[in-house]
Chain A
Amino acid sequence: MAEIAFREALRQTMREALLADDRVVMIGEDIGAYGGSYAVTKGLLEEFGPERIMDSPISESVVVGCGIGAAMGGLRPMIELMTINFSLLAFDQIVNNAAKLSYMSGGQISVPMIIRMASGAGSQLAAQHSHSLEGWYAHIPGIKVAVPYSPRDARGLLRTAFSEPNPVIFIEHTALYARKGEVPDGDYTIPFGQAEVLREGSDVTLIGYSGSVHQASQAAELLAESGCHAELLNLRTLRPLDVEAIITSVRKTHRAVVVEDDWKFGGFAGEIAAIIMEGAFDNLDAPVARVCGADVPIPYAKALEQAALPSAQQIADAALELM
């Protein structure tokens, strides 16, 4: 077991997939000669050549659509969309084609493809480069949505994505790329739909995914200082969602705080709250709390940006209010 960065865990897993199956091709803007905007694909062009690592024009829609068609045609494409912000230009392809083809064709077509994209705020990139829209993708039947937190998640979930017969939206929070952690090598995989209990506790369940697990875990530390034992749940995939893990934990702790970088209004945290209400209403000692991004476009100025994102203190405060 080696200690490597999140980005490195992704790169190693991709490299293995490229070696294992020559139908795997990667398509994206600046993934080759430039090395990837977040250096995830660095070195792959040199090793696998331009037929496998394909630099594309800045045309998100045709890049994703081309991946869908290539998957239909027998290749196993991985698309890198740089960031979730640009995925909006390919939203039609993802929603109307990737997610629909199996169903609309009566099961004749499958779309085994991975669409990777960086997500999240926190680097002062301002409103157009700071979205966290994973909840939008999780809304859509026909695709799967992976939201790794640790380097271990990155490897385990990406390996599963490479064995999926369905389109997988693979979300990488930019704040996680450089973070290191232990990653099992070899055949290690994490099945979709299995949340991870990162920390056991009895007083409140903190639920997060992707980057927000970091703030939630800091909040758990703060809570421990005040004698409150928080259980911490890392969802790892939003679709399929591990409903059972959520319900089991809330039945134990009787309280829940859902954490999400995305906007609260109409967001995925609300979905989790509803699921808890449906599955564990009688076990709740307090209403489910949500700590989400502020209801504004993300601002540039450092202090304002930080104020717009969930903080460990906010999460801890929200938990204590439930006691």
Chain B
Amino acid sequence: MTQLADKPTAKELDSSQLIGLLRQMMLIRRFEEKAAEMYAKQRIAGFLHLYNGEEAVAVGAISALNSDDHIFTHYRDHGHALARGIEPRRIMAELFGRETGVSRGKGGSMHLFDVERSFMGGYAIVGGHLPLACGMALANQRLGNGRIVLCIFGDGAVNEGEFHESLNLAAVWKLPVLFLCENNFYGMGTDIRRVSAVIEIYKRAAAYAMPAEQVDGMNVLEMYQAVQRVAQGVRAGNGPAFLEAICFRFRGHSMADPEFYRRKEETERWRELDPITTFHRKLEQDGVIDEPAFQSLQAEIEEIVNEAVQFAAESPEPPPEALYDDVYAQERD
């Protein structure tokens, strides 16, 4: 089950792997655009937090892991779930609140779970899942199964007590967990500079003697490379590590956000660094992908996303009897 061979370095990735990275980012972007459309049509309700602009973080990081490494993430979780390879149709169905959704319609956008794919969930209490990642890492350490835990959270989480408790515990117990902070500079409408004494977040890990780096989260290869390298040390038993991915969300915090707190120009500047266009351009220049190949990629993704919507729309809602299912687990092994 465990793949012991290390992942290739970014330099060693072949053309199809590089195109794979581009494809995943494009899929996330298109999926999110479609989700926004479905939200506007009131097919999706509740809170909907889109990942547009941050695709390189999820795709770079998760591609650099083994497929059975565990992932814990926050409520902005569609990108991570897609990057882990969960079927878009089952994610869309969850957004639609359908029985066929990954969490059987009980979780919604913020709580995607796919335990079979070691995707241990999206969590909506800021900072609340960091302790869980530590526990899963403890179990991995005890079972000696060679799996590590990727724990993803935002810049907003680093001022929660649980952030500090978790980093400390992971460090003293040398837990195999890789903390990945998506620093998009805002927690809802609050600019990090207004609420964080230290805004270079990776520096905080020094308080727990934890190796930490800042990475360009708009660059999928840099993300991939950083995680590939750092994961080796975590897997080898050197203890936890910390990465801060510098990124930006192109849209509001959630669909309800009119973005009064920041200027359009700021978003425009970041859009020039769009992780998908820049990577596409690079692959073109390097002769990895040509225009026809790119267009067929686009068409393929369009079809996947449309099919996902159709699947979700045609799926049944959870039956009323499901209301009381799974409050408690029935069996213990």
State the A residues within 8 Å of B (CB): 25, 51, 54, 56-57, 59, 61-75, 77, 92-93, 96-97, 101-112, 141-142, 144, 163-166
Contacts and interface: CB of A to CB of B under 8 A. Distances in A.
B329 interface: yes
Contacts of B101: 106
Interface string B98-122: 0001111111000101110000110
A106 B134 CA distance: 23
B169 A103 contact: no
B136 A73 contact: yes
B168 A65 contact: no
Contact of A104 (B107, B173, B325, B331): B107
B165 A107 contact: no
Interface string B281-293: 0000000000000
Contacts of B331: 165
A63 B166 CA distance: 9
Contact of B113 (A73, A97, A105, A163): A105
Contacts of A54: 173
B172 A72 contact: no
Given A59-B169, A65-B135, A66-B134, A105 B111 contact: yes
B328 interface: yes
A117 to B, nearest CB: 17
Given A57-B172, A102-B327, A109-B115, A72 B332 contact: no
Given A106-B102, A106-B107, A69 B172 contact: no
A67 B120 CA distance: 15
Contacts of B330: 165
B317 to A, nearest CB: 14
A65 B130 contact: yes
B143 interface: yes
Contacts of B106: 103-106
Contacts of B115: 105, 108-109
29 contacts: A25-B142, A61-B161, A62-B134, A62-B166, A64-B131, A65-B162, A65-B166, A68-B135, A69-B134, A71-B135, A72-B136, A93-B131, A97-B129, A102-B327, A103-B327, A104-B103, A105-B103, A105-B113, A105-B326, A106-B102, A106-B104, A106-B326, A107-B329, A109-B115, A110-B329, A142-B327, A144-B328, A164-B332, A166-B328
Interface of B: 70, 72, 101-107, 111, 113-115, 120-121, 123, 125, 128-140, 142-143, 161-162, 165-166, 168-169, 172-173, 325-332
Given A51-B142, A73-B138, A75-B142, A66 B332 contact: no
Contacts of B103: 104-106, 108
Contacts of A64: 131
Contacts of B326: 102-103, 105-107
B325 A107 contact: yes
Contact of B135 (A57, A67, A105, A165): A67
Contacts of A109: 113, 115, 120-121
Nearest to A89: B161
B138 A66 contact: yes
A109 to B, nearest CB: 6
B113 A57 contact: no
Nearest to B166: A62
Contacts of A51: 142
Contacts of B132: 65-66, 68-69, 72, 97
Contact of B327 (A68, A72, A141): A141
Contacts, number: 153
Nearest to A144: B328
Contacts of B172: 57
A97 B128 contact: yes
Nearest to B111: A104
Nearest to B123: A97
Given A105-B115, A106-B326, A69 B169 contact: no
A250 to B, nearest CB: 27
A64 B72 CA distance: 16
A159 B115 CA distance: 28
Interface centre among B125, B135, B143, B328 (most CB of A within 10 A): B135
Nearest to A107: B326
Given A70-B136, A73-B139, A62 B131 contact: yes
Counting from the closest, the 5 A-B pairs by CB-CB distance are A65-B131, A69-B135, A73-B139, A106-B104, A110-B329
B139 A105 contact: no
Given A66-B131, A103-B106, 5 more contacts: A57-B168, A69-B136, A73-B135, A108-B114, A111-B329
Contact of B328 (A66, A92, A142): A142
A79 B140 CA distance: 18
B332 A163 contact: yes
A106 B104 CA distance: 5
B177 to A, nearest CB: 10
A62 B120 contact: no
B111 A66 contact: no
B138 A75 contact: yes
Contacts of B104: 106-107
Nearest to B140: A73
A59 B136 contact: no
Given A57-B169, A96-B125, A166-B329, A105 B134 contact: no
B143 A74 contact: yes
A112 B120 contact: no
B29 to A, nearest CB: 27
Contacts of B140: 73
